[in-house]
Amino acid sequence: MNGSRRHRLAILTTHPIQYYAPWFRYLARHLDLEVLYAHQQDAAGQGAAGFGVSFDWDVPLLEGYRYRWLKNISRNPGLQGFGGCDTPELFNIVTPENYDALLVLGWNKKSLVQGIRAAWRNGVPVFARGDSQLPTERSLLKRALKFFPYRWFLPRFDAHLYVGQHNREYLRHYGVQDRQLFFSPHFVDNDFFSSRAEAARRSGAASAVREQFGIPCDAIVAIFVGKFLPKKRPLDFVRASIRVARSRERFHALLIGDGPLRREAESVAAENARKIHFAGFRNQNNLPAFYAAADLLVLPSEEETWGLVVNETMACGLPAIVSEDVGCAPDLIDVDFTGWTFPTGDVTALADLLLRFPSGDRKALRYKCETHSIARATIGLQQALATVCARKMRMSRPSR
């Protein structure tokens, strides 16, 4: 391969996602990139995915890079089941003539498996990037049933871009070798969030958020941002906030999001509605002002493989309190500097942390953003491309 030529990379994913679009634009400046989408998600589909309301993202998802819509022939197209994305044309698209490598963002949909099989069949190196981690609880039978198929499947990838410590442990558990592992951390568009949060503080937009909900300018505000789903455990935050509000006059809680549990959460919070506020769903462009109006984030989730909202708030200068089940905890939470952890489901422990009102360290928060950025994720991908493509060249040379 000519070292001066840019690598030709295809990225296969299910649908446009607000977190990935900035990365794709960045990659398009460094690689010959084409993104392959298996499904066109509409506003109603967003609501069905747990957001609780139908909407379209208010940031550009398809600008600044080359992409292709695949033909989804599924009888029930969508993202809710394995077969909702079915794109067999991948076997004719993913070829050495078109790409030097294929990156799949997961393997939990039929289209993603089709892309992997197409790459294997046609001799195209295939990389994977996901955030799976080993569960804390699973029966011996379930562990055994999964272990042997995954022990065969995962080491067959040419490279894995692991996003954090838990994800790396997961891959090593299933037999992936160190030479196949490249660090490509989870990230958000740090510049987007940090610049807009700072602008909200300067312009008064952050103060306006507080005024909108009757929150005094000198109050301590803890914020929850996410879908109101059981696994996100928003009621834990509400119950902890009730306890704190009883003994700390200046404490307020602000919940952003919607979903099946919102009505129950509002009912539980009704006894202290003056201090526990519900803002509903807010789109990307609105979030920085809300982050700038808060003092810290609370993410009490269970089975949270990462928690990108933690990246968002850290980019805006806020520390985070997260449950021990949140996947980003060992990577982003440095106790007393960038955040704190508590046992999942322990409302008392969460309330105790909120009563202490820890403030975090701005320098440490900036460092976490630098080490979990678009640029750092790209370095890992480029290292994987250079290593695997060089290896392929060596193997293709005729022996003398």
Give SS3 for 3.
coil
Residue whose token pair is 């509002």? 266
The rounded percent of the chain whose pLDDT value lies above 90 is 84
Whether 8-187+373-396 and 190-371 share one fold: the answer is: yes
Tokens for 389, please give them. 């493509």
Distance CA 310, CA 347 (A): 20
Decide: 289 and 194 in contact? Cβ < 8 Å: no
Give SS3 for 199.
helix
Q: Which residues of the chain have pLDDT under 70?
A: 1-4, 47-50, 52, 136-139, 358, 396-400
Closest to 245 measured CA to CA, from 103, 115, 357: 357
Bridge partner residues of 332 (DSSP): none
Whole-angstrom CA distances from 390 to 68, 302, 382 are 28, 41, 12
Closest to 3 measured CA to CA, from 103, 100, 102: 100
CATH of 190-371, one of 3.40.50.2000, 3.10.20.90, 3.40.80.10, 3.40.50.1000: 3.40.50.2000
Q: Strand 339-342 relative to strand 67-69: parallel, antiparallel, unpaired?
A: unpaired
For 12, the enclosing helix (H) or strand (E) is: strand 8-13
What confidence tens digit (pLDDT) does each residue in 269-323 have? 998 999 999 999 999 999 999 999 999 999 999 989 999 999 999 999 999 999 9
pLDDT value, residue 1: 40
Distance CA 63, CA 388 (A): 29
Give SS3 for 91.
helix
End-to-end CA distance of the chain: 19
User: Does the 8-187+373-396 domain belong in CATH 3.30.70.270?
Assistant: no
Closest to 22 measured CA to CA, from 244, 173, 187, 177: 187
DSSP summary character for residue 123? T
Distance CA 301, CA 319 (A): 16
What confidence tens digit (pLDDT) does each residue in 169-220 have? 999 999 999 999 999 999 999 999 999 999 999 999 999 999 999 999 999 9
Residue 364 CB coordination number (10 Å): 15
Bridge partner residues of 299 (DSSP): 322
pLDDT value, residue 80: 86
Residue 269 C-alpha from the chain's centroid: 28
Distance CA 308, CA 284 (A): 13
pLDDT value, residue 138: 65
Helices 205-212, 190-203: crossing angle, 10 deg rounding: 70
Find all residues with CB under 8 Å of 286, minimum gap 6, and list them. Answer: 58
Q: Strand 159-162 relative to strand 220-225: parallel, antiparallel, unpaired?
A: unpaired
Domain boundaries, the chain: 8-187+373-396, 190-371
